[in-house]
Amino acid sequence: MRNAAVLLLLVLAACASPGGGSDPGTAGLPTPVRVQTHDEQGSVTEYSVRRSNLFVSDTLWDVTPSTTWEAVQAVYTAFGIPVTRVDAATRTVGAENARAGSRIAGAALSNFLECGTNPTGGSTADNAEVTLTVLTSLHPMEGGGIVTRTTVNGSARNRFRNVPPSACRSTGRLERRIANEIKLRLSGVR
């Protein structure tokens, strides 16, 4: 209970903060809130949350970079994410500004992106032309292990009206699904 109260205070403080840190790319954004979850196998998942269109999921794995790299690529293929970027030097894989189909990982886009609602009350993510960016990068840790960082965002353009695209923000579900699927592949379940 005490931990939940501390976490709530951190979330409220971050939402109220206009801070931006020293990175010019974060100027004017609220201070991020870092939330960690731990599972039975010892994997740590850390989420960085800002009130913005970007949700970041960091997960620590106690395996080699090459093993994790193979698992990440397999997950993108299995989920039907249209890979447009594979950079072995920076160990980044993903879809950059790719045209998304109506489903990813067997689920409607609205499960993963909030793009607003259309005039009939349906999800814009499910009824618009969606441009999607999903990137996962690997970062070796000094003491061993690998952190995978996944980011998701996008935009939606009405197919029937000539209006500018609207920004979409991640629900955080796809980042978590990618992390869970990587874990299954690294543990030999898939």
Quote the percentage of the chain above a pLDDT of 70: 69
Q: Is the pLDDT of residue 48 over 90?
A: no
Cβ contact 125:108 at 8 Å? yes
Tell me: pLDDT of 53 over 60. no
pLDDT digits over 139-166, tens only?
Answer: 888 888 888 899 999 999 887 778 888 8
In DSSP notation, 5-60 reads HHHHHHHHHHHH-----S-GGGTTSPPPEEEEEE-TT--EEEEEE-SSS-EEEEEE
Average pLDDT over residues 35-60: 54
SS3 content of the chain, % helix, strand, coil (to 5): 30, 35, 35
Say what the pTM is: 0.68
